[in-house]
A = this chain, B = another copy of it.
Amino acid sequence: MGHRLDDVSAPARLAGPDEAISTEELVLAARNHGIPLEALRYDVTPPGLHYVLTHYDIPYAERSSWQIALGGRVRQPLLLGMDELRAYPAVTERVTLECAGNGRALLTPRPVSQPWLVEAVGTAEWTGVPLRVLLAEAGVAPDAVEVVFTGADHGVERGVEQDYQRALPLDVALGAKPEVLVAYEMNGAPLPPQHGHPVRLVVPGWYGMAHVKWLREITVTDTPFTGFQQAVAYRLRQQSGDEGEPVTRIAPRALLIPPGFPDFMSRTRVVRPGAVTLEGRAWSGRAPVTGVEVSCDGGGTWHAADLDPEDGHRWAWRRWRFAWAATPGHHVLSARATDAEGHTQPLDQRWNRGGFANNLVQRVPVLCLDPDDTA
């Protein structure tokens, strides 16, 4: 007869064998959004086109009164307003950010959560203060092992009421290559509300769950963090009882800009016969991308694409191009990235119960019209 959180907050589940997208998944898809794939044309994703995933609500935040409390296992706790944060020397880094759940809705069986297809990615120029500078000023205690980050977004997930919290190992938090940023600008402007206004974490190379938005607290701890988003969510599990491996760095992925023009409803692409330049982006949070291969026959044969030269933006995607001679008929286009550690995108799904860190190759169906179809 009671009215408790469990009434509205269910355990994680997998969709049934023939279960279509639920209304709950649609509600998430209408709120959160991916990058329209044609926007892969931009080196830096324009505002509003970068993917967004908000666990709970976008909190209301006044820049003038916002403070970050840095405490825990430190010599000298800090309480920083936004003007104080801006007084530190600023660093700008171009970073490609991808949601750990990207590709989830294409898995079989489908984990029921935010139903991403392939589009949960974007690249921005983030400006802020290196976290290691703030930690050095506070003085990290010798027994410290992790740093916990608390955001202002509040909600309930699988029965657990919480502010969004994630931790990083101390060596990552103190790292210089890459530097973790406490960021207050995106593409040269104050953070928009949905990207963490007024301040968020940016962890180059890591999936999005680590980049805590609406950052309020930074807490150095002497024990590993066991909060919901660390120990329950964002783990690679085959069975629900498994401890699982933590989700960390971004696996390599290439995406192509669907060529030609789309049908409104099916989004199937249409091209006319002849030379079609295929173009896209590739990235990895583990090691630099060293190669992209393209298939125009559904994965039957693969051909090397031309990678743009390195441009010094180690943590951002790289552009690639490939010349395709389109002939009338139905085709499936794919691209496949490989990084310097030898990680390559799989052709068969790598499944886990959360649908995390999935980097199955994209498949883009294209119809090449007959030469006489002037429509």
A41 contact set on B, CB distance < 8 A: 60
For chain A, residues 252 to 282, give those with C-beta under 8 angstroms from any C-beta of chain B: 258, 261-268, 270
Smallest beta-carbon distance A367→chain B, Å: 5
- Decide: B267 and A24 in contact? CB cutoff 8 A: yes
Q: Which residues 82-117 of A have a CB within 8 angstroms of B? A: 105, 112-113, 115-117
CB atoms of A264 and B55 under 8 A apart: yes
Determine whether the beta carbon of B193 is less than 8 Å from that of A10: no
> When the two chains form their complex, are residues B3 and A328 in contact, meaning their CB atoms are under 8 A apart?
yes
Question: With A and B bound together, what is the CA distance between A203 and B143 in angstroms?
Answer: 63
A interface residue count range (under 10 / 10 to 19 / 20 to 34 / 35 or more): 35 or more
Q: How far, in whole Å, are A33 and B113 apart by their CA atoms in the complex?
A: 17
A22 to B265, CA, bound (A): 11
Q: Is the CB of A31 within 8 A of B34?
A: yes
The B-contacting residues of A in range 9-41, CB under 8 angstroms, are 9-10, 19-34, 36, 38-39, 41
A2 within 8 A of B: yes
Give CA–CA (A370, B6) in the complex, Å: 12
Contact residue among B27, B156, B192, B329 (Cβ-Cβ distance under 8 Å from A3): B329
Cβ contact within 8 Å between A9 and B49: no
Interchain CB contact under 8 A, B369 and A28? no
Q: CB distance B29 to A261 under 8 Å? A: no
The answer to whether the Cβ of A306 comes within 8 Å of any Cβ in the partner chain is no
Is A119's beta carbon under 8 Å from chain B? Answer: yes
Known A4-B369, A47-B48; contact A26-B117, beta-carbon cutoff 8 A: yes
Known contacts A155-B264, A266-B10; A26/B105 CB under 8 A: yes
Once the chains bind, are B47 and A5 in contact (CB under 8 Å)? no
Q: Is the CB of B119 within 8 A of A30?
A: yes
With both chains docked as a complex, state the minimum distance between the C-beta of A103 and any C-beta of chain B, in angstroms: 12
A112 to B25, CA, bound (A): 17
On chain B, the residues within 8 Å of A193 by CB distance are 39, 46, 49
Residues of B within 8 A of A8 (CB): 263, 266, 268, 270, 367
CB-CB < 8 A to A119: which residues of B?
A: 30-31
A21 x B23 contact (CB < 8 A): yes
Report the separation of the CA atoms of residues A320 and B184 in the bound assembly, to the nearest whole angstrom. 32
B-side contacts of A369, CB under 8 Å: 3-5
Copies held by the complex: 2
Known A-B contacts A2-B370, A369-B4; the reply to A24 vs B266 at CB < 8 A is: yes
In A336-375, the 8 Å CB interface with B consists of 367-370, 373, 375
Q: Please measure, in the bound complex, the distance between the C-alpha atom of A341 and the C-alpha atom of B4, giving whole angstroms.
A: 44
A56 touches B264 (CB 8 A): yes
A157 at the interface (CB under 8 A from B): yes
Q: Give A154-187 as 1s and 0s: 1 = Cβ < 8 Å from B's Cβ atoms.
A: 1111101100000000000000000000000000
Minimal Cβ-Cβ distance residue in B for A2:
B370
Indicate if A219 sits at the interface (CB-CB under 8 A). Answer: no
Complex Cα–Cα for A113 and B258 (A): 20
A30's contact among B34, B54, B57, B195, by CB below 8 Å, is which? B34
In the assembled complex, the CB of A49 is this many whole angstroms from the nearest CB of chain B, namely 6
Can you list 25 pairs linking A and B with CB atoms under 8 Å apart?
A2-B373, A3-B328, A3-B330, A3-B367, A4-B370, A5-B263, A5-B369, A5-B373, A5-B375, A8-B268, A8-B270, A27-B117, A30-B117, A30-B119, A31-B36, A31-B119, A36-B58, A39-B58, A41-B60, A56-B262, A154-B261, A156-B261, A157-B264, A161-B261, A161-B375
Q: Which 7 A-B pairs have the closest CB atoms?
A: A20-B20, A48-B48, A33-B33, A161-B375, A8-B268, A29-B29, A21-B21
